Amino acid sequence: MKNLVTATWLNEHLTDPKLVIFDAGMVRPGLPGQYQPHAKLPNALRFDFKRQLADLSSGLSHTMCSPEQFTEQMQLLGVDNDSLVVIYEDGGLFSAARGWWMFKAMGFDNVKVLSGGLAKWQSLGYLTQVEYSQNHHKGNFKARARVGYFIDTAAVFNGIDDDDVLLLDARSYKRFTGEMAEPREGMRSGHIPNSCSLPFAALLNDGEAKPLTQIKAAFETVIDGQSILQFSCGSGVTACTLALFADECGYENLHVYDGSWSEWGGRDELPIETGSSPAR
């Protein structure tokens, strides 16, 4: 896959002077505490999209920061315009794709996600370290923001009745239908009208991507000729996992709803539906 690398590949490239490894893990919604993995990959740096790389004025969880803020943080972390960036998390493919999509949105394409994350790395017996590494040089990274990679509520609302637009929801099916309560307090249950359910977890086997043929088949069951794909989830994290897999399948015109259900479900004036996906 073009966007994913294996643990074996990464272990063989650890001495590449252009390599920058980021841990973009997070605590799963509804669980207490801070993200504190018991081990880190060699030379790993922290990719903190909840604080250093978030727009803290938005009132929402970890919405995308400005290009200027992203540039400043990446330079402090030693990223250059010709770096090779690999992003991972403690296990599976839950939040690492968020970092991947953020780099893509900032005009940087030489970025990959580690399939299976730290769990796969350790299962193969590769070396780890206790703490994150410290960067010792300022990078020359410069963000070149791409319009539309992250979209807002208005773009999603305007797409509801557009036959060319399909919004895919990465949450679990029972959250999509409204049968299961949201992990965030005070949040309505259900989904955005005319959206379709495609749980990101259905595209994984034990935290790793399923074969591409199976992923393509999953997308083909819900996409019916639409040329514009939007992705939503609980807070704009696993929506990026769907974006990654859609890109793997060759789809274009991809957009992640940054606020996702934490915004839509918290605003009573926005329409919602419950039950299964509608016919389009």
Q: Are 231 and 240 in contact (CB under 8 A)?
A: yes
Computed from CA positions of residues 152, 155, 158, 163, in that sequence, does the dihedral angle turn out positive or negative? Answer: negative
Helix (H, G, I), strand (E, B) or coil at 131: coil
Rounded CA separation 206/54 (Å): 29
Q: Are 184 and 98 in contact (CB under 8 A)?
A: no
Computed from CA positions of residues 265, 193, 66, 25, in that sequence, does the dihedral angle turn out positive or negative? Answer: positive
Would you call 196 a catalytic residue per the annotation? no
SS3 content of the chain, % helix, strand, coil (to 5): 25, 15, 55
Q: CA nearest 72: which of 147, 144, 143?
A: 143
Return the structure tokens found at 111.
């970025």
Return the structure tokens found at 271.
């329409």
Return the structure tokens found at 146.
């791409």
Indicate which residue of 65, 233, 240, 249 is catalytic: 233
Q: Are 69 and 141 in contact (CB under 8 A)?
A: no
Roughly what angle, to the nearest 10 degrees, separates helices 96-105 and 238-248? 70
Q: Are 248 and 215 in contact (CB under 8 A)?
A: yes
Tell me which residues are annotated as active site. Answer: 233
